[in-house]
Amino acid sequence: MKASSFGYARPESLAEALELLARHGERAKLLAGGQSLIPSLNLRLSSPALLIDLGNLSELEGIALQGKDLRIGALTRHRAIERSPVVAAHAPLLAQAAPHIAHVAIRNRGTFGGSLAMSDPAAEWPACCLALGASIVVASARGERRVQAERFFKALYATDLAPDEILVAAEIPAAAADSRSVFLELARRRGDYAIVGVAAQARRSKGRLQDVRLAFLGVAAVPLLARRAMAALEGGPCDAAAIAAAERALGDELEPMADLYHSAATKLHLARVLAGRALAALAA
């Protein structure tokens, strides 16, 4: 199907984009990689009066280590993250997750910021940001602010972004030397959105886990930190008993939504299986 007609603007700076957005409000839509927005226009699920194309805002693109944080610009493509040696060194979880996003042709276009703004419950980047304790940087004509990932993803496809705000970057604490990470997901076919997935990171020293972070995708309207399972592991050895306790704890905190193919019980089972595998990998 084809999209209905709309206006189009291609600002040359963030300031100009913010001004356009402030002027046109909810009648306008930001266009980043277009890999979620254009399908929804094609299917006529969305019909904005104006598209504001962020494509020329090179100031929003790039990966840089700034002090103790890795800053990833909103317009950075999935594929650039997948291939970045800086990401592999300082946020390996992202490098592990990237190949699970769609297919190469889509990863060449889709952006980090677009995925966070879209906030699909089964998307990889939101869960990774949650696991990594990222801070999301957003700008508007009123100025810039930072929101912790834990408060950014609010409800199904809804974030903390106000209608006049643009997501400009995420700042991710660089991984410690003793940090390990694992990203696992189950999908029906390669490249599909996940049925269930887990983004896990922890520091491991002398056989014990610290700062354990387990974030799940596909189990709720938003990505979820499994706090009870995290608590069951914190400070202890990651042995079979601890892993079993963490898997049990998931039953108390995850209330997965059934989808077309999987019941809530199936999803909980799959989340436990993935958690077990992820923790075994962290411990190995």
Partner 1 sequence: MEEFFETTITVNGTPVTRRVAARTHLVDFLREELGLTGSHTACEHGVCGACTLRVDGQILRGCLMLAVQANGRKVDTIEGLSDAGEIRDLQAAFHERNALQCGFCTPGVLMTAQELLRDRPEATRDEIREFMSGNLCRCTGYQAIIDSIEAVLIARRRTGRL
Ligand X SMILES: Cc1cc2nc3c(=O)[nH]c(=O)nc-3n(C[C@H](O)[C@H](O)[C@H](O)COP(=O)(O)OP(=O)(O)OC[C@H]3O[C@@H](n4cnc5c(N)ncnc54)[C@H](O)[C@@H]3O)c2cc1C
- Please give the residue ranges that form the binding site for partner 1 (CB under 8 A): 1-8, 10, 31, 34-35, 38-39, 41-43, 51, 53, 55, 79, 99, 102-106, 108-109, 189-191
Q: Least distance from C-beta 165 to ligand X, angstroms?
A: 7
What does the per-residue mask of binding to ligand X show for 107-146, with x meaning CB under 6 A? ---xx-xxx-xx-x--xx----------------------
Per-residue x/- track, 150-189, ligand X (CB under 6 A): -----------x----xx----------------------
Of ligand X, partner 1, none, which one sits near residue 53, judging by CB under 5 to 8 A according to partner kind? partner 1
- Quick check: 193 binds ligand X (CB under 6 A)? yes
Cite the DSSP H helix spans in the chain.
14-24, 37-42, 78-83, 85-90, 92-97, 104-107, 112-118, 124-132, 149-152, 227-233, 240-253, 264-283
Partner from partner 1, ligand X, none contacting 189, C-beta within 5 to 8 A by type:
partner 1
Question: Tokens 């995925």 label which residue?
Answer: 115
Stretch that binds ligand X, among 5-13, 82-90, 104-112, 196-204 (CB under 6 A): 104-112
**Which token pair is 156?**
């199904």
- Residue written as tokens 């790039």? 62
10 contact choice in partner 1, ligand X, none (CB below 5 to 8 Å, kind-dependent): partner 1
Considering the complex, what minimum distance in angstroms separates the CB of residue 148 from partner 1? 31
Cα gap 270→208, rounded to integer Å? 26
Q: Do 113 and 75 contact (CB within 8 A), yes or no?
A: yes
Nearest of 18, 260, 14 to residue 162 by alpha carbon: 18
Instruction: Sort 203 into a burial class: Cβ within 10 Å, 0-12 / 13-18 / 19+.
Output: middle
| # chain residues binding ligand X, by CB under 6 A | 28
Q: What is the DSSP string of 253-279?
A: H--PPP-SS--HHHHHHHHHHHHHHHH
Per partner kind, with CB cut-offs from 5 to 8 A, the member of partner 1, ligand X, none near residue 190 is: partner 1
Q: What number of other Cβ atoms are within 10 A of residue 179's Cβ?
A: 22
102 DSSP assignment: S
Instruction: Return the one option of ligand X, partner 1, none that residue 99 interacts with (CB less than 5 to 8 A, by type).
Output: partner 1
Sites of contact with ligand X (CB under 6 A): 29-37, 39, 74, 101-102, 106, 110-111, 113-115, 117-118, 120, 123-124, 161, 166-167, 193
